[in-house]
Amino acid sequence: MQRTLHAAFLAALMALVSSNATGANELDIAWGTNSSSADGNPSITIGPNRKLMVVLPKPVLQGAESAGFSTQATVQSFLQKYGPRLCSQILDLNAPQKDLKIELRILDRESKESRLLVVSPEHEDFVLDYIPTNRVHCVAPSENVS
């Protein structure tokens, strides 16, 4: 079952990378309860100096690589799909961002026998020109919030 979930996630990701179309919400299914229970949840965090820290499950990156996609292309497609949902006054991912700094870390099992998922201390850094493929409406709180 775990391989089936990996295959489904990879197929959705590759469809997004190759077509760059998000209308069918291919990755919505992949980032659902079934895939996250198997390999954990990916994450996007805005760090110091507007650097994005992205965590992706290791099987996703391995599958993309074996299908011929670079790590950077995989991360870029992931961000194009999910970045706009990260509503923030620090960094607007509903708008293009030139020279966006990315720090990628991998989520994997502590050991083959373990069920514990850990984020690697090692990371890969790169810079990309981010252009969102969809937009969301972010709601800003009013100043009268108590």
pLDDT at 145: 58
* Residue partners of 132: CB distance under 8 A and separation at least 6: 80, 83, 84, 93, 94, 95, 96
Compute φ and ψ for 108, nearest 5 degrees. Answer: -150, 170
The whole-number average pLDDT for the span 6-27 is: 42
Enumerate the H helices of 52-107 as residue ranges.
58-66, 71-82
What pLDDT sits at residue 4?
A: 45
Is 146 or 103 the better-scoring residue by pLDDT? 103
- For the record, the structure tokens of 24 come out as 């069918």
Residues 23-67 pLDDT 10s: 233 344 445 555 666 778 899 999 888 899 999 999 888 888 888
pLDDT at 21: 38
d(CA 52, CA 46): 5
Note the pLDDT tens digit of each residue in 71-123.
999 899 889 988 988 888 888 999 999 999 999 999 999 888 888 999 999 99
- pLDDT level of residue 22 (50, 70, 90 thresholds): very low
- pTM for this structure? 0.73
Residue type present at position 82: Y
Q: Which pLDDT value is given to residue 37?
A: 65
Position 112 scores a pLDDT of 84
- Mapping DSSP to helix (H, G, I), strand (E, B) and coil, where does residue 129 land? strand
> Does the pLDDT at position 16 exceed 80?
no
